[in-house]
């Protein structure tokens, strides 16, 4: 089992004729995802590795029955691509693009809410439900099916954690990168709630970083609503205040958003925090073992 | 990106917000000329990206042009919190009757711009929030609708009882919202907004931070970047499309991905070292980016060892390996370089690096420990 995407997910790739779009469309297909269409305005009628290309998302949906879109277009056009996907009735929009102004995001989110669409990202690696589907850029080779849900604000750090889990024998239900921007469509809480309700998920790994208060909000949710164990890692303990650390959202402002605050909040909520991503499997073993013992 | 006060106040003035007369000066003579032109007592204010300039002695009042010149000379020779003062703003001194605060930030939690006003202006707003939170009034703005005139009026009445001054303040608030929105700002602040002896409401100080993601469509604002206000290596890194933040430690870090780069720094600290920097070479890394990254890291005299940590997803390890070979040929590093390449095309990468006999590591933790150990060992010549 999984959250947000599964073997029935039908994917349309927006920006499929671009360098990243065409490469990752093929990677997703090779992983087994149903990549049923691509969109590049003006290139309708072409195909990319056997995937038909359309001029608009509306046409692509009508012809292919796509229900999920993944966006690989430059920042100046990505916001329009999000509106277009939502207006074409796409239910799940995954925006990989980095560099979208936050002022644009705060306008598009209410529109998505009204349209009933979920946005993951922007500035994210997408998600993968091992053995079922992949939407985005996460490497398929490092995952394996299993009972651990993974949710993270970053990309390669998530791969590092997933790889540690896989090597230690912990497979994953779904791994999801929610994005490193200050304003994103899907929060930690949205994912925790979905994992809590997913019968295929038994425990969750949460990977956060400095900036904002989403980890603190997640900690409050864990304490109040999660029956499944959560373990965490928080990046940025050595980050200086006031400096943007790569991700637009990773910045300590006015003393708020520090790693120490987030770690303390998670511990208080009963979610142990690993000192290194490679220690996550050991923490999982402990919390999942405790549960197994409690069930006896 | 942070704007200097003189740049921020220009944006306010262009939007029609009253600011004191004045101009920016890079030399004492220029400051004197501005003071002479104004023909009245002036404020001489250091233009650096630090808070608390006044307390640090970077803001002074001059009675006449000669005093302005002298003060400008003293302030231009200053370093405030490690940053050299390269310009001063010279403005007409205003008689302050009342000081208030107006600020707008993008609130990440509610995903809306929030306008904060307080009649307790002239001090840090964090201080007001901590001591007298009832003195701060907040309004979340619907970003689709924008700020309605009645909302600006209602905020203004929290600041002034006098209808004329409240009307002026409402106008300032509405215009500041426009500046915030049209500049893709993440913060726009007037502190203090004053009422002077003539009853005029004037923005005495201005602070604006810009969302870097908006700069591509705001070329007039991107042009305001002050390259001298940042470490030269940070400017060089930006030109090479790398995210780099200089720190004070001895372990240079080259990593792909911002989260992993932060985690790598944290592990350096955890295992007893100090990171020299944050550096993210980004997603689809070309060999050229690795070369640029090595050049920047090796130019830092504090660096005693370099750790290259790559988890290949989109990034191909063989591309990184080619960049490493190229960088060694060009720069011939005298400090040890520890390499950890995992993921896409790691075997091809190992083959490329096989002849170089560099210290390698399989896991993140081992790589960090090795880099720390080698930094402490003198290199045999």
Domain assignments of chain A as residue spans, ordered by start: 10-120, 138-295
Output the CATH code of domain A138-295: 3.40.50.261
Q: Is the pLDDT confidence value at B268 over 90?
A: yes
Mean pLDDT score across all residues of chain A: 95
Q: Is the pLDDT confidence value at B229 over 90?
A: no
Nearest chain B alpha carbon to A75: B213
Query: Which of B247, B344, B364 has the CB atom closest to A160's CB atom?
Result: B364
Q: Is the pLDDT confidence value at B317 over 60?
A: yes
Which residues are CB-contacts of A229 (< 8 A; sequence separation ≥ 6)?
A: A203, A204, A271, A284, A287, A288, A290, A291
Chain A interface disruption, residue of B230, B262, B361, most A CBs within 10 A: B262
Give me the percent of chain B exceeding a pLDDT of 70: 98
Average pLDDT over residues B59-67: 96
**Count of C-beta atoms within a 10 Å radius of residue A189:** 16
Cα angle, residue B223 at apex, residues B221 and B227 outer, rounded to 5°: 120
- Strand pairing partners for B102? B117, B190
Residue burial B307-346, b: 16+ Cβ < 10 Å; e: rest? bbbbbbbbbbbbbbbbbbbebbeeeebebbbbbbbbbbbb
User: Which pLDDT score is estimated for B186?
Assistant: 95
- The CATH architecture that domain A10-120 belongs to is 3-Layer(aba) Sandwich (3.40)
Nearest chain B alpha carbon to A161: B260
Look at B257 and A156 and tell me if their CB atoms are within 8 Å.
Answer: yes
User: Which pLDDT score is estimated for B380?
Assistant: 46
Mean pLDDT score across all residues of chain B: 93
Domain map (residue ranges) of chain B: 1-19+95-229, 21-93, 230-376
Q: Does B299 touch chain A (CB under 8 A)?
A: no
User: Which pLDDT score is estimated for A252?
Assistant: 86
pTM of the model: 0.93
> What span, in angstroms and rounded, lies between the C-alpha atoms of A105 and A126?
17
Look at B262 and A157 and tell me if their CB atoms are within 8 Å.
Answer: yes
User: Is B337 in a helix, a strand, or coil?
Assistant: strand
Q: Is the pLDDT confidence value at B349 over 50?
A: yes
CA of B136, closest CA in chain A: separation in Å?
17
pLDDT tens per residue across span A179-208:
999 999 999 999 999 999 999 999 999 999
Q: Which chain B residues have a beta carbon less than 8 Å from that of A276?
A: 263, 267, 270, 364-365
Q: Is the pLDDT confidence value at B21 over 80?
A: yes
Per DSSP, chain B holds a count of helices (H) and strands (E) of 13, 17
User: Which pLDDT score is estimated for B368?
Assistant: 96
Query: Which of B257, B275, B278 has the CB atom closest to A157's CB atom?
Result: B257
Look at A236 and B184 and tell me if their CB atoms are within 8 Å.
Answer: no
Average pLDDT over residues A149-174: 96
- The CATH architecture that domain B21-93 belongs to is 2-Layer Sandwich (3.30)
Residue B50: pLDDT band by 50, 70, 90 thresholds?
A: confident
Look at A160 and B260 and tell me if their CB atoms are within 8 Å.
Answer: yes
Tokens 């980004």 correspond to what residue?
B282
* Fold agreement between A10-120 and A138-295: yes
- The CATH architecture that domain B230-376 belongs to is 3-Layer(aba) Sandwich (3.40)
Q: Is the pLDDT confidence value at B117 over 90?
A: yes
| CB hemisphere CA count around A283 (13 angstroms) | 24
> What span, in angstroms and rounded, lies between the C-alpha atoms of B325 and B356?
8
Look at A183 and B342 and tell me if their CB atoms are within 8 Å.
Answer: no
User: Is B186 in a helix, a strand, or coil?
Assistant: strand
Average pLDDT over residues A157-163: 96
Q: What is the DSSP letter of A44?
A: T
Nearest chain A alpha carbon to B215: A101
- Active-site residue among B32, B94, B189, B346? B189
Q: Which residue has the higher pLDDT, A170 or B50?
A: A170
Nearest chain A alpha carbon to B282: A246
Look at A163 and B342 and tell me if their CB atoms are within 8 Å.
Answer: yes
Residue A24 designated active-site: no
User: Which pLDDT score is estimated for B381?
Assistant: 43
Q: What is the DSSP letter of A228?
A: S
Residue B230 designated active-site: no
- Active-site residue among B6, B101, B160, B244? B101
Parallel/antiparallel/unpaired status of strands A118-120 and A126-129:
unpaired
Q: Which residue has the higher pLDDT, B211 or A292?
A: B211
> What span, in angstroms and rounded, lies between the C-alpha atoms of A169 and B301?
43
Q: 3.40.50.1370, 3.10.180.10, 3.40.50.620, 3.30.470.20: which CATH number matches B1-19+95-229?
A: 3.30.470.20
Look at B343 and A142 and tell me if their CB atoms are within 8 Å.
Answer: yes
Average pLDDT over residues A221-242: 96
> What span, in angstroms and rounded, lies between the C-alpha atoms of A89 and A80?
15
Average pLDDT over residues B176-184: 97
Q: Which chain A residues have a beta carbon less than 8 Å from that of B268?
A: 238
Average pLDDT over residues A40-53: 96
User: Which pLDDT score is estimated for B234?
Assistant: 86
Q: What is the DSSP letter of A7?
A: T
pLDDT tens per residue across span B85-103:
999 999 999 999 999 999 9
Contact between B222 and B276 under an 8 Å Cβ cutoff? The reply is: no
Residue A99: pLDDT band by 50, 70, 90 thresholds?
A: very high
Look at B280 and A246 and tell me if their CB atoms are within 8 Å.
Answer: yes
């Amino acid at each position: 089992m999984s959250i947000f995407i599964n073997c029935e997910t039908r994917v349309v790739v927006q920006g499929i004729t671009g360098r990243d779009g065409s490469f990752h469309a093929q990677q997703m297909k090779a992983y087994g995802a149903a990549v049923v269409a691509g969109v590049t305005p003006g290139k309708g009628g072409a195909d990319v590795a056997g995937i038909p290309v359309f001029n608009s998302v509306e046409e692509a949906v009508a012809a292919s029955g796509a229900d999920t879109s993944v966006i690989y277009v430059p920042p100046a056009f990505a916001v329009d691509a999000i509106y277009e996907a939502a207006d074409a009735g796409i239910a799940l929009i995954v925006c990989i693009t980095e560099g979208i102004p936050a002022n644009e995001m705060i306008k598009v989110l209410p529109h998505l809410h009204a349209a009933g669409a979920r946005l993951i990202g922007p500035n994210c690696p997408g998600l993968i439900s091992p053995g079922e589907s992949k939407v985005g850029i996460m490497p398929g080779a490092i995952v394996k099916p299993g009972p651990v849900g993974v949710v993270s604000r970053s990309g390669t750090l998530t791969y590092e954690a997933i790889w540690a889990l896989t090597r230690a024998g912990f497979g994953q239900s779904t791994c999801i990168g929610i994005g490193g921007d200050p304003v994103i469509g899907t929060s930690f809480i949205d994912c925790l709630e979905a994992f809590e309700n997913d019968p295929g998920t038994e425990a969750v790994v949460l990977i956060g970083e400095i900036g904002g208060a989403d980890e603190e909000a997640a900690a409050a949710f864990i304490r109040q609503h999660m029956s499944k164990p959560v373990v965490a890692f928080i990046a940025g303990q050595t980050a200086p205040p006031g400096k943007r650390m790569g991700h637009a959202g990773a910045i300590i402002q006015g003393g708020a958003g520090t790693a120490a605050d987030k770690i303390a909040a998670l511990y208080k909520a009963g979610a142990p925090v690993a000192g290194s991503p490679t220690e996550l499997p050991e923490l999982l073993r402990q919390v999942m073992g405790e549960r197994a013992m409690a069930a006896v | 990106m942070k704007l200097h006060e003189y740049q921020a106040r220009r944006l306010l003035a262009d939007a029609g917000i009253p600011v004191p007369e004045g101009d920016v000066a890079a030399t004492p003579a220029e400051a004197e000329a501005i003071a002479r032109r104004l023909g009245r007592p002036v404020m001489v204010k250091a233009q650096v990206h630090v808070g608390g300039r006044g307390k640090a002695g970077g803001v002074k009042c001059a009675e006449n042009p000669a005093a302005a010149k002298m003060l400008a000379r003293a302030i231009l020779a200053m370093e405030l919190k490690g940053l050299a003062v390269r310009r001063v703003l010279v403005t007409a001194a205003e008689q302050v009757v009342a000081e208030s605060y107006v600020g707008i930030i993008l609130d990440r939690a509610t995903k809306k711009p929030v306008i904060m006003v307080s009649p307790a202006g002239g001090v840090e707003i964090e201080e007001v929030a901590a001591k007298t939170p009832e003195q701060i009034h907040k309004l979340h703005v619907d970003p689709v609708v924008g700020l309605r005139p009645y909302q600006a009026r209602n905020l203004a009445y929290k600041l002034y009882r006098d209808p004329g001054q409240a009307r002026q303040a409402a106008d300032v608030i509405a215009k500041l919202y426009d500046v915030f929105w049209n500049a893709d700002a993440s913060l726009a602040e007037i502190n203090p907004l004053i009422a002077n002896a003539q009853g005029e409401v004037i923005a005495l100080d201005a602070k604006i931070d810009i969302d870097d993601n908006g700069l591509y469509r705001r070329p007039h604002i991107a042009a305001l970047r002050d390259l001298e206000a940042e470490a030269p290596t940070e400017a060089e890194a930006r030109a090479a499309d790398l995210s780099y933040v200089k720190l004070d430690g001895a372990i240079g870090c080259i990593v792909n991905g911002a989260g992993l780069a932060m985690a790598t720094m944290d592990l350096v600290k955890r295992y007893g070292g100090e990171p020299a920097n944050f550096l993210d070479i980004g997603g689809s890394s070309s060999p050229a980016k690795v070369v640029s990254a090595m050049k920047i890291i090796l130019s830092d005299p504090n660096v005693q060892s370099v750790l290259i940590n790559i988890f290949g997803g989109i990034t191909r390890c063989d591309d990184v390996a080619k960049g490493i070979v190229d960088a060694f040929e060009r720069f011939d590093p005298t400090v040890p370089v520890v390499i950890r390449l995992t993921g896409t095309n790691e075997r091809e990468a190992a083959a490329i690096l096989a002849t170089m006999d560099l210290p390698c590591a399989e896991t993140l933790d081992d790589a960090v420990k090795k880099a720390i150990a080698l930094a402490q060992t003198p290199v045999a010549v």
